Structure 1
Amino acid sequence: MAKSFSVGIVDNDERSLHSLREILTDLIDELSVKWMVTSGEDAEPLCLESKSRPDMLLVDMSLNGMQGPVLCRRIREKIDVMPILAMTAFPVERYAIKAANSGAQGICSKNSEADLVNCVNTINCAGVLGAGFDTVRHAHERLVEERQRNAKSLTFKEMEVMDYASEGMLDEEVAHKMNIAVSTVRKHMQNAKNKLGAKNRFQALWMWINGED
Protein backbone atom coordinates (compact mmCIF):
# COMPACT_ATOMS: atom_id res chain seq x y z
CA MET A 1 0.00 0.00 0.00
CA ALA A 2 1.37 3.41 -1.01
CA LYS A 3 2.28 5.81 1.77
CA SER A 4 -0.01 8.80 2.21
CA PHE A 5 1.38 12.31 1.78
CA SER A 6 0.18 15.89 2.07
CA VAL A 7 0.53 18.92 -0.15
CA GLY A 8 0.19 22.65 0.31
CA ILE A 9 -1.06 24.66 -2.66
CA VAL A 10 -0.32 28.31 -3.46
CA ASP A 11 -2.36 29.99 -6.20
CA ASN A 12 -3.78 33.49 -6.29
CA ASP A 13 -7.02 32.27 -7.90
CA GLU A 14 -9.50 30.80 -5.39
CA ARG A 15 -11.30 28.86 -8.12
CA SER A 16 -8.03 27.39 -9.31
CA LEU A 17 -7.18 26.32 -5.76
CA HIS A 18 -10.43 24.41 -5.36
CA SER A 19 -10.09 22.89 -8.82
CA LEU A 20 -6.54 21.72 -8.08
CA ARG A 21 -7.64 20.21 -4.77
CA GLU A 22 -10.50 18.35 -6.44
CA ILE A 23 -8.28 16.97 -9.22
CA LEU A 24 -5.49 15.86 -6.92
CA THR A 25 -7.64 14.25 -4.24
CA ASP A 26 -9.83 12.51 -6.82
CA LEU A 27 -6.96 11.10 -8.88
CA ILE A 28 -4.32 10.39 -6.20
CA ASP A 29 -5.76 8.26 -3.40
CA GLU A 30 -2.76 8.73 -1.10
CA LEU A 31 -2.81 12.54 -1.32
CA SER A 32 -4.39 14.96 1.12
CA VAL A 33 -4.37 18.76 0.96
CA LYS A 34 -2.93 20.21 4.17
CA TRP A 35 -3.76 23.80 3.29
CA MET A 36 -4.40 26.20 0.41
CA VAL A 37 -3.39 29.88 0.34
CA THR A 38 -3.49 32.65 -2.23
CA SER A 39 -0.16 34.37 -1.51
CA GLY A 40 3.50 33.62 -1.04
CA GLU A 41 3.49 35.77 2.07
CA ASP A 42 1.01 33.36 3.68
CA ALA A 43 2.69 30.22 2.37
CA GLU A 44 6.26 30.91 3.50
CA PRO A 45 5.73 30.72 7.29
CA LEU A 46 3.52 27.64 6.89
CA CYS A 47 6.36 25.89 5.06
CA LEU A 48 9.07 26.96 7.49
CA GLU A 49 7.15 25.80 10.57
CA SER A 50 7.47 22.02 10.88
CA LYS A 51 3.98 21.53 12.33
CA SER A 52 2.26 23.20 9.38
CA ARG A 53 4.72 22.06 6.69
CA PRO A 54 3.24 19.75 4.02
CA ASP A 55 5.18 16.89 2.46
CA MET A 56 5.19 18.73 -0.88
CA LEU A 57 4.52 22.32 -1.96
CA LEU A 58 2.76 23.24 -5.20
CA VAL A 59 3.40 26.84 -6.27
CA ASP A 60 1.91 28.83 -9.12
CA MET A 61 4.65 30.89 -10.75
CA SER A 62 2.39 33.90 -11.42
CA LEU A 63 1.36 35.00 -7.94
CA ASN A 64 0.30 38.45 -6.86
CA GLY A 65 2.70 40.09 -4.43
CA MET A 66 5.62 37.74 -3.86
CA GLN A 67 6.19 35.93 -7.16
CA GLY A 68 6.44 32.15 -7.36
CA PRO A 69 10.19 31.98 -8.11
CA VAL A 70 10.95 34.29 -5.19
CA LEU A 71 8.84 32.17 -2.84
CA CYS A 72 10.62 29.01 -4.01
CA ARG A 73 14.03 30.55 -3.46
CA ARG A 74 13.16 31.97 -0.03
CA ILE A 75 11.94 28.58 1.17
CA ARG A 76 14.66 26.48 -0.43
CA GLU A 77 17.47 28.66 0.95
CA LYS A 78 16.13 28.14 4.47
CA ILE A 79 15.16 24.44 4.55
CA ASP A 80 16.44 21.25 2.93
CA VAL A 81 13.18 19.32 3.22
CA MET A 82 9.86 19.38 1.32
CA PRO A 83 10.06 19.18 -2.49
CA ILE A 84 8.56 22.05 -4.45
CA LEU A 85 6.59 21.61 -7.68
CA ALA A 86 6.18 24.78 -9.73
CA MET A 87 2.97 25.19 -11.73
CA THR A 88 1.95 27.46 -14.58
CA ALA A 89 -0.96 28.02 -16.93
CA PHE A 90 1.55 29.25 -19.52
CA PRO A 91 3.81 26.95 -21.56
CA VAL A 92 6.16 25.35 -19.01
CA GLU A 93 9.20 26.50 -21.00
CA ARG A 94 8.40 30.04 -19.92
CA TYR A 95 9.25 29.32 -16.29
CA ALA A 96 11.28 26.08 -16.37
CA ILE A 97 14.73 27.65 -16.06
CA LYS A 98 13.63 30.12 -13.41
CA ALA A 99 11.87 27.40 -11.41
CA ALA A 100 15.00 25.22 -11.47
CA ASN A 101 17.27 28.12 -10.54
CA SER A 102 14.93 28.99 -7.66
CA GLY A 103 15.23 25.54 -6.12
CA ALA A 104 12.05 23.81 -7.33
CA GLN A 105 12.16 20.07 -8.05
CA GLY A 106 10.04 20.29 -11.18
CA ILE A 107 7.42 22.23 -13.12
CA CYS A 108 4.09 21.20 -14.61
CA SER A 109 1.19 22.62 -16.57
CA LYS A 110 -1.99 23.49 -14.70
CA ASN A 111 -3.85 23.02 -17.98
CA SER A 112 -3.30 19.26 -18.06
CA GLU A 113 -4.70 17.00 -15.35
CA ALA A 114 -2.52 14.14 -16.57
CA ASP A 115 0.66 16.24 -16.43
CA LEU A 116 -0.19 17.58 -12.98
CA VAL A 117 -0.90 14.14 -11.53
CA ASN A 118 2.16 12.59 -13.19
CA CYS A 119 4.47 15.32 -11.89
CA VAL A 120 3.12 15.11 -8.34
CA ASN A 121 3.46 11.32 -8.32
CA THR A 122 6.96 11.43 -9.81
CA ILE A 123 8.27 13.94 -7.30
CA ASN A 124 6.59 12.09 -4.44
CA CYS A 125 8.34 8.86 -5.47
CA ALA A 126 11.66 10.08 -6.91
CA GLY A 127 12.09 13.45 -5.19
CA VAL A 128 12.78 15.29 -8.43
CA LEU A 129 11.08 15.52 -11.82
CA GLY A 130 14.05 14.99 -14.09
CA ALA A 131 17.01 16.54 -15.89
CA GLY A 132 17.56 20.21 -15.16
CA PHE A 133 16.17 20.09 -11.63
CA ASP A 134 18.07 19.48 -8.39
CA THR A 135 17.02 17.32 -5.49
CA VAL A 136 15.85 19.17 -2.39
CA ARG A 137 19.21 18.77 -0.65
CA HIS A 138 21.31 19.76 -3.65
CA ALA A 139 19.11 22.76 -4.43
CA HIS A 140 19.35 23.94 -0.83
CA GLU A 141 23.14 23.55 -0.77
CA ARG A 142 23.49 25.34 -4.11
CA LEU A 143 21.40 28.34 -3.07
CA VAL A 144 23.10 28.65 0.31
CA GLU A 145 26.50 28.49 -1.38
CA GLU A 146 25.46 31.08 -3.97
CA ARG A 147 24.27 33.43 -1.23
CA GLN A 148 27.47 33.01 0.79
CA ARG A 149 29.77 33.24 -2.23
CA ASN A 150 28.16 36.22 -3.87
CA ALA A 151 27.84 39.21 -1.58
CA LYS A 152 26.19 41.02 -4.47
CA SER A 153 23.26 38.61 -4.71
CA LEU A 154 19.98 40.27 -5.56
CA THR A 155 17.74 40.99 -2.60
CA PHE A 156 14.30 39.41 -2.60
CA LYS A 157 12.72 42.78 -3.45
CA GLU A 158 15.07 43.14 -6.42
CA MET A 159 14.12 39.62 -7.51
CA GLU A 160 10.43 40.52 -7.32
CA VAL A 161 10.96 43.61 -9.46
CA MET A 162 12.88 41.57 -12.03
CA ASP A 163 10.20 38.88 -12.09
CA TYR A 164 7.43 41.39 -12.70
CA ALA A 165 9.46 43.33 -15.26
CA SER A 166 10.27 40.11 -17.12
CA GLU A 167 6.51 39.61 -17.47
CA GLY A 168 6.42 42.85 -19.48
CA MET A 169 5.03 45.06 -16.73
CA LEU A 170 5.75 48.78 -16.74
CA ASP A 171 7.40 50.34 -13.69
CA GLU A 172 4.06 51.87 -12.67
CA GLU A 173 2.39 48.45 -12.79
CA VAL A 174 5.17 46.86 -10.76
CA ALA A 175 4.89 49.64 -8.18
CA HIS A 176 1.15 49.01 -7.87
CA LYS A 177 1.67 45.24 -7.52
CA MET A 178 4.32 45.63 -4.83
CA ASN A 179 2.69 48.63 -3.14
CA ILE A 180 5.84 50.72 -3.41
CA ALA A 181 6.78 53.96 -5.16
CA VAL A 182 7.76 53.98 -8.83
CA SER A 183 11.08 55.53 -7.82
CA THR A 184 11.71 52.54 -5.53
CA VAL A 185 10.98 50.13 -8.38
CA ARG A 186 13.52 51.95 -10.54
CA LYS A 187 16.08 51.89 -7.73
CA HIS A 188 15.64 48.11 -7.33
CA MET A 189 15.96 47.68 -11.10
CA GLN A 190 19.14 49.76 -11.20
CA ASN A 191 20.64 47.76 -8.33
CA ALA A 192 19.75 44.49 -10.04
CA LYS A 193 21.25 45.68 -13.32
CA ASN A 194 24.50 46.61 -11.60
CA LYS A 195 24.71 43.33 -9.69
CA LEU A 196 24.07 41.30 -12.84
CA GLY A 197 26.74 43.25 -14.68
CA ALA A 198 24.28 44.23 -17.40
CA LYS A 199 24.82 47.22 -19.65
CA ASN A 200 21.15 48.20 -19.69
CA ARG A 201 17.67 47.20 -18.53
CA PHE A 202 17.00 44.99 -21.54
CA GLN A 203 20.20 43.01 -21.08
CA ALA A 204 19.47 42.65 -17.36
CA LEU A 205 16.02 41.25 -18.08
CA TRP A 206 17.42 38.88 -20.72
CA MET A 207 20.00 37.61 -18.22
CA TRP A 208 17.33 37.23 -15.53
CA ILE A 209 14.89 35.37 -17.79
CA ASN A 210 17.63 33.02 -18.98
CA GLY A 211 18.90 32.27 -15.51
CA GLU A 212 22.21 34.12 -15.72
CA ASP A 213 21.92 35.45 -12.18
Structure 2
Amino acid sequence: MDSLVGQLATSPEHASLLADAGDGRLVVVRQKLNSMPHDEATRWRQSAMMFAVQAGQSDVVAALLDDGADANATALLPGYKEAFLNHALGPATRKTFARNDMLNDHDTSIGPALPIAASCGDVASVDALLRHHADVMARMAPNVADPLTDAVMQGDAVIVQRLLDHGADACADDHHMHQRQLESKRGFHTLAELGRRAGLPIDLAARLTCPAAASVHRNIH
Protein backbone atom coordinates (compact mmCIF):
# COMPACT_ATOMS: atom_id res chain seq x y z
CA MET A 1 0.00 0.00 0.00
CA ASP A 2 2.76 2.46 0.92
CA SER A 3 4.61 1.80 -2.32
CA LEU A 4 1.51 2.18 -4.49
CA VAL A 5 0.20 5.29 -2.75
CA GLY A 6 3.67 6.83 -3.12
CA GLN A 7 2.94 7.02 -6.84
CA LEU A 8 -0.09 9.26 -6.37
CA ALA A 9 0.13 12.77 -7.80
CA THR A 10 -0.27 14.58 -4.51
CA SER A 11 1.90 15.83 -1.67
CA PRO A 12 3.86 13.28 0.41
CA GLU A 13 1.80 14.35 3.43
CA HIS A 14 -1.51 13.56 1.77
CA ALA A 15 -0.21 10.41 0.09
CA SER A 16 0.99 9.06 3.44
CA LEU A 17 -2.43 9.83 4.98
CA LEU A 18 -4.13 7.71 2.33
CA ALA A 19 -1.58 4.94 2.80
CA ASP A 20 -2.26 4.92 6.53
CA ALA A 21 -6.02 4.79 5.92
CA GLY A 22 -5.59 1.94 3.44
CA ASP A 23 -3.45 -0.01 5.89
CA GLY A 24 -5.77 0.54 8.85
CA ARG A 25 -3.46 2.78 10.89
CA LEU A 26 -6.33 4.70 12.47
CA VAL A 27 -4.39 6.38 15.28
CA VAL A 28 -1.90 7.82 12.80
CA VAL A 29 -4.69 8.89 10.43
CA ARG A 30 -6.39 10.83 13.21
CA GLN A 31 -3.14 12.42 14.32
CA LYS A 32 -2.40 13.65 10.81
CA LEU A 33 -5.91 14.99 10.29
CA ASN A 34 -5.86 16.75 13.67
CA SER A 35 -2.67 18.55 12.67
CA MET A 36 -4.24 20.00 9.50
CA PRO A 37 -6.20 23.26 9.23
CA HIS A 38 -9.94 22.66 9.53
CA ASP A 39 -10.87 22.97 5.83
CA GLU A 40 -7.95 20.82 4.73
CA ALA A 41 -8.79 18.18 7.33
CA THR A 42 -12.42 18.11 6.20
CA ARG A 43 -11.43 17.50 2.58
CA TRP A 44 -8.85 14.85 3.38
CA ARG A 45 -10.95 13.08 6.02
CA GLN A 46 -13.49 12.43 3.28
CA SER A 47 -10.78 11.19 0.93
CA ALA A 48 -9.24 8.98 3.60
CA MET A 49 -12.64 7.49 4.44
CA MET A 50 -13.30 6.71 0.78
CA PHE A 51 -9.84 5.21 0.37
CA ALA A 52 -10.45 3.05 3.46
CA VAL A 53 -13.74 1.84 1.95
CA GLN A 54 -11.90 0.78 -1.20
CA ALA A 55 -9.26 -0.99 0.91
CA GLY A 56 -11.81 -2.78 3.11
CA GLN A 57 -10.66 -1.05 6.31
CA SER A 58 -14.02 -0.97 8.06
CA ASP A 59 -12.66 0.22 11.42
CA VAL A 60 -11.14 3.28 9.75
CA VAL A 61 -14.35 3.87 7.80
CA ALA A 62 -16.46 3.78 10.95
CA ALA A 63 -14.10 6.01 12.92
CA LEU A 64 -13.81 8.67 10.21
CA LEU A 65 -17.58 8.73 9.83
CA ASP A 66 -17.80 9.29 13.57
CA ASP A 67 -15.27 12.10 13.18
CA GLY A 68 -17.36 13.89 10.56
CA ALA A 69 -16.84 12.26 7.16
CA ASP A 70 -20.04 12.35 5.11
CA ALA A 71 -21.62 8.97 4.32
CA ASN A 72 -23.40 10.42 1.28
CA ALA A 73 -20.76 12.68 -0.24
CA THR A 74 -18.19 11.91 -2.89
CA ALA A 75 -14.46 12.38 -2.31
CA LEU A 76 -11.57 13.55 -4.44
CA LEU A 77 -8.84 10.96 -4.83
CA PRO A 78 -5.59 11.86 -6.60
CA GLY A 79 -4.51 10.22 -9.82
CA TYR A 80 -1.13 8.62 -10.45
CA LYS A 81 2.09 10.39 -11.38
CA GLU A 82 2.85 10.54 -15.08
CA ALA A 83 6.19 8.77 -14.61
CA PHE A 84 4.45 5.86 -12.89
CA LEU A 85 1.84 5.55 -15.64
CA ASN A 86 4.55 5.63 -18.30
CA HIS A 87 6.36 2.83 -16.50
CA ALA A 88 3.28 0.73 -15.68
CA LEU A 89 1.42 0.99 -19.00
CA GLY A 90 2.61 0.39 -22.53
CA PRO A 91 1.92 3.10 -25.12
CA ALA A 92 -1.04 1.27 -26.66
CA THR A 93 -2.65 0.55 -23.29
CA ARG A 94 -2.09 4.12 -22.12
CA LYS A 95 -3.72 5.44 -25.30
CA THR A 96 -6.72 3.15 -24.86
CA PHE A 97 -7.13 4.11 -21.21
CA ALA A 98 -6.90 7.81 -22.08
CA ARG A 99 -9.49 7.45 -24.85
CA ASN A 100 -11.94 5.86 -22.39
CA ASP A 101 -11.14 8.31 -19.57
CA MET A 102 -9.64 5.46 -17.49
CA LEU A 103 -6.08 6.70 -17.26
CA ASN A 104 -6.48 7.98 -13.69
CA ASP A 105 -3.92 10.74 -14.21
CA HIS A 106 -5.88 13.48 -12.42
CA ASP A 107 -7.94 14.02 -9.30
CA THR A 108 -11.18 12.06 -9.61
CA SER A 109 -14.43 12.31 -7.70
CA ILE A 110 -15.29 8.91 -6.21
CA GLY A 111 -18.36 7.77 -4.35
CA PRO A 112 -20.62 7.78 -2.56
CA ALA A 113 -19.20 5.05 -0.37
CA LEU A 114 -22.12 2.64 0.11
CA PRO A 115 -22.14 1.24 -3.46
CA ILE A 116 -18.40 0.55 -3.13
CA ALA A 117 -18.73 -1.22 0.22
CA ALA A 118 -21.73 -3.24 -0.98
CA SER A 119 -20.02 -4.33 -4.19
CA CYS A 120 -17.03 -5.51 -2.13
CA GLY A 121 -19.25 -7.51 0.22
CA ASP A 122 -17.90 -5.47 3.15
CA VAL A 123 -20.68 -5.92 5.72
CA ALA A 124 -18.89 -4.00 8.48
CA SER A 125 -18.40 -0.91 6.29
CA VAL A 126 -21.98 -1.19 5.02
CA ASP A 127 -23.19 -1.25 8.63
CA ALA A 128 -21.07 1.79 9.53
CA LEU A 129 -22.37 3.75 6.55
CA LEU A 130 -25.99 2.82 7.28
CA ARG A 131 -25.55 3.93 10.90
CA HIS A 132 -24.56 7.29 9.47
CA HIS A 133 -27.68 7.46 7.28
CA ALA A 134 -26.15 6.53 3.95
CA ASP A 135 -28.63 6.67 1.08
CA VAL A 136 -29.43 3.02 0.33
CA MET A 137 -30.39 3.88 -3.24
CA ALA A 138 -27.23 5.85 -4.08
CA ARG A 139 -25.50 5.20 -7.38
CA MET A 140 -21.97 6.14 -8.41
CA ALA A 141 -23.30 7.17 -11.83
CA PRO A 142 -26.79 7.31 -13.38
CA ASN A 143 -26.56 4.08 -15.36
CA VAL A 144 -24.73 1.81 -12.94
CA ALA A 145 -26.13 -0.53 -10.31
CA ASP A 146 -27.10 0.75 -6.90
CA PRO A 147 -26.08 -1.17 -3.74
CA LEU A 148 -29.17 -3.39 -3.67
CA THR A 149 -28.88 -4.51 -7.28
CA ASP A 150 -25.16 -5.17 -6.85
CA ALA A 151 -25.71 -7.24 -3.70
CA VAL A 152 -28.57 -9.20 -5.30
CA MET A 153 -26.53 -10.07 -8.37
CA GLN A 154 -23.69 -11.27 -6.14
CA GLY A 155 -26.09 -13.38 -4.07
CA ASP A 156 -24.96 -11.56 -0.92
CA ALA A 157 -27.87 -12.33 1.38
CA VAL A 158 -26.48 -10.47 4.40
CA ILE A 159 -26.07 -7.16 2.57
CA VAL A 160 -29.38 -7.55 0.70
CA GLN A 161 -31.08 -8.04 4.08
CA ARG A 162 -29.34 -4.99 5.54
CA LEU A 163 -30.31 -2.76 2.63
CA LEU A 164 -33.94 -3.88 2.56
CA ASP A 165 -34.20 -3.38 6.32
CA HIS A 166 -32.97 0.20 5.82
CA GLY A 167 -35.51 1.02 3.14
CA ALA A 168 -33.99 -0.04 -0.18
CA ASP A 169 -36.73 -0.04 -2.82
CA ALA A 170 -36.83 -3.10 -5.07
CA CYS A 171 -39.56 -1.53 -7.20
CA ALA A 172 -37.34 1.47 -7.97
CA ASP A 173 -34.60 -0.90 -9.10
CA ASP A 174 -37.00 -2.90 -11.27
CA HIS A 175 -38.24 0.32 -12.87
CA HIS A 176 -34.64 1.42 -13.51
CA MET A 177 -33.72 -1.92 -15.10
CA HIS A 178 -36.89 -1.88 -17.22
CA GLN A 179 -36.04 1.60 -18.51
CA ARG A 180 -32.53 0.47 -19.41
CA GLN A 181 -34.01 -2.56 -21.19
CA LEU A 182 -36.22 -0.31 -23.28
CA GLU A 183 -33.23 1.86 -24.22
CA SER A 184 -30.90 -1.04 -25.02
CA LYS A 185 -33.56 -3.44 -26.37
CA ARG A 186 -32.13 -6.19 -24.17
CA GLY A 187 -33.95 -8.70 -22.00
CA PHE A 188 -35.52 -7.58 -18.74
CA HIS A 189 -35.16 -9.55 -15.52
CA THR A 190 -36.81 -8.47 -12.28
CA LEU A 191 -34.71 -8.07 -9.16
CA ALA A 192 -36.50 -11.01 -7.53
CA GLU A 193 -35.67 -13.19 -10.52
CA LEU A 194 -32.02 -12.14 -10.36
CA GLY A 195 -32.00 -12.91 -6.65
CA ARG A 196 -33.34 -16.41 -7.17
CA ARG A 197 -30.79 -17.05 -9.90
CA ALA A 198 -28.02 -15.84 -7.59
CA GLY A 199 -29.08 -18.29 -4.89
CA LEU A 200 -30.68 -15.95 -2.36
CA PRO A 201 -32.94 -17.64 0.20
CA ILE A 202 -36.53 -17.95 -1.04
CA ASP A 203 -37.98 -15.69 1.66
CA LEU A 204 -35.41 -13.00 0.98
CA ALA A 205 -35.93 -13.16 -2.79
CA ALA A 206 -39.65 -12.79 -2.13
CA ARG A 207 -38.99 -9.43 -0.46
CA LEU A 208 -37.58 -8.24 -3.78
CA THR A 209 -40.81 -8.87 -5.66
CA CYS A 210 -42.49 -5.79 -7.12
CA PRO A 211 -46.02 -6.55 -8.37
CA ALA A 212 -46.00 -3.79 -11.00
CA ALA A 213 -42.65 -4.89 -12.40
CA ALA A 214 -43.69 -8.52 -12.37
CA SER A 215 -46.76 -7.63 -14.43
CA VAL A 216 -44.65 -5.74 -16.98
CA HIS A 217 -42.22 -8.66 -17.10
CA ARG A 218 -45.03 -11.15 -17.84
CA ASN A 219 -46.39 -8.91 -20.61
CA ILE A 220 -42.96 -8.65 -22.24
CA HIS A 221 -42.56 -12.41 -22.25
Taking structure 2 as the reference length, what is the TM-score of the superposition? 0.32
As a proportion of its length, which structure holds more helix?
2
Larger radius of gyration: 2
More strand by share: 1
